[in-house]
Amino acid sequence: MIITRFAPSPTGNLHIGGARTALFNYLYAKHCNGKFLLRFEDTDAERSKEEYAVQIRESLRWIGINWDNEDIPYQSKRLHIYESYKNHLLEKGLAYHKDGAIFLKGKDNVEDFVIWRSDGMPIFHFTVVIDDHEMNVNCIIRGVDHLTNTDKHKIIYDYLGFPKPEWFHIPLIVDENNKPLSKRRDDASVTFYQEKEYLPEAVMNYLARLGWGHENQEIFSEQELISMFDVHKVSKNPAKIDLKKLNWLNAQYISKAEPSFFTKYSKYQNIQKAVDHATRSEICKECMKKLQAKAFSLEELNGLLAPFVNDFLADENLLNEHKVFILSLLPQIKKTLENIPQDKWTEHEIDEKLSQLVENNSITFKDIAMPLREIMTGQKKSLGIGEILFYLGRKTVLSRLHIL
RNA sequence: GGCCCCUUCGUCUAGUGGUUAGGACACCAGGUUUUCAUCCUGUAAGCAGGAGUUCGAUCCUCCUAGGGGCUGCCA
């Protein structure tokens, strides 16, 4: 059985590169019907903080990366284990004291190196090998920054008589200048995407496509990723982060989501109201879907839905440049719409009647569409005018018209 | 410096010893349209360079260049 792991050190929030590493480990383990484990490497007591460990877990869960071990090992609590292995190596003469630290004898072009600090704490190279072995990790997917370290790790595996895992080193995520994404950049932290309220589905999809691809497919559900992802096919060259593509993916996911998908975003009241309507009415659902297709973010969707789920009072100020013109036409518009009975209130009929009105007055459809849209929604960006009037409903439309 | 890794459109990638080197994002130009957006169509854009192997190399080998990593009692 394939067992992978993600082993961050809790010295900061989850880095987007770390998230991708975790994702690849997760996807590959699931792909192989194996297990994906989480572990915290906190032997650097100075910089490690529990709050970061909490944050990292939350970010992983947010993306949708779930680990299989309920008890997450913290290396700082396993010192006695490393201690016994260290003593073993000392006894066998493979390690030795020097200047208060403990060095391991190198071989194969690797010089002797420290495995135990003079302050009494073990070094990462040592703990990582022991833990991976004890956790039965047999497939290690990590950043290329660890590539050279692997030589040291192999020596430890040999000295301790552990069977070696398989290593895969994935390239880093880099910035515009091909430099590894600095931790200081806002968009380097997963919390940035959480705060911006990107859909986690879009983030997972985006991350998976960074360094990997499958034929001409761009949109992958989690299940598709699990069934198609193969760590052997991950590209070897660094991937540049591209928020434009993420934004596009985010819009795709918003557009395709079912109304019920949005219930977890409770802070967006208009969206919640719309979901409520949509579950009871096919027409409301249709309206919501059309607005979803226009939104790039949840915030934008919430705004677009506002005039459809709330009372809205048209304000003359909205009309600005159209004001004089549209006010002169308003009586006719009202009359035209009033003459459409409730049972004929359809998008087609509305468009038809408005077109006639336009024709009779020798103006263009455009001349009334925009002002009407603003009267009905208070927005310049919304659906087609026929759609707006239809979805709003005859009663609401007439009442909004009578305001002026 | 030493050791190591990488190199397909601007970006993310697909791909093969013989392809018009494919897709997507972005970009640009048209079209539709009633706003914005979508949508549709199209343009432009790439195998880092040089040798070698081969009938034939984007693909295999070597070299060079460029980029990156490691070279910590950080991880």
The predicted-structure confidence for A304-345, as pLDDT tens digits, reads as follows: 999 999 887 666 666 666 666 677 788 888 889 999 999 889
Q: Give the largest Cα separation in chain A, rounded.
A: 102
H or E element that contains A53: helix A50-63
Residue A249: pLDDT above 90?
A: yes
How far: A400 CA to B19 C1' (Å)? 61
More confident residue, A366 or A68: A68
Residue A202: pLDDT above 70?
A: yes
Q: Which residues contact A384 (CB under 8 A, 6 or more apart)?
A: A347
Q: How far is CA A394 from the centre of its chain?
A: 40
H or E element that contains A283: helix A282-292
> How many residues in chain A?
404
d(CA A378, CA A390): 16
3 state DSSP class of A399: helix
What ipTM does this complex have?
Answer: 0.93
How far: A149 CA to B50 C1' (Å)? 34
Total-model pTM: 0.93
Residue A404: pLDDT above 60?
A: no
d(CA A131, CA A84): 13
Return the sign of the alpha-carbon dihedral for residues A222, A228, A230, A233.
negative
Q: What secondary structure letter does DSSP report for A282? A: H
Assign domain A1-69+123-253 one CATH number from 3.30.365.10, 3.30.530.20, 1.10.240.10, 3.40.50.620: 3.40.50.620
3 state DSSP class of A101: strand
Q: Nearest nt (C1') to A8 (CA)?
A: B75
Q: What is the CATH number of domain A316-403?
A: 1.10.10.350
Using one digit for the tens of pLDDT, what is the confidence trace for A32-51? 999 999 999 998 888 899 99
pLDDT at A203: 97
Residue A387: pLDDT above 60?
A: yes
Q: Nearest nt (C1') to A179 (CA)?
A: B68
Torsion of CA A283, A285, A290, A292, to 10 degrees: 160
- Asked if the domains A1-69+123-253 and A316-403 are classified in one and the same CATH topology, the answer is no
Q: Which of A226-240, A282-296, A341-355, A358-372 has the lowest mean pLDDT?
A: A358-372
The arithmetic mean of pLDDT across residues A195-203, rounded, is 95
Using one digit for the tens of pLDDT, what is the confidence trace for A146-168? 999 999 999 999 999 999 999 99
Domain residue ranges of chain A, discontinuous segments joined by +: 1-69+123-253, 79-116, 257-309, 316-403
Bases of chain B below 7 A from a protein C-beta are 3-8, 10-15, 22-26, 33-38, 67-75
How far: A201 CA to B51 C1' (Å)? 48
The arithmetic mean of pLDDT across residues A59-65, rounded, is 97
Tokens of A380: 């310049």
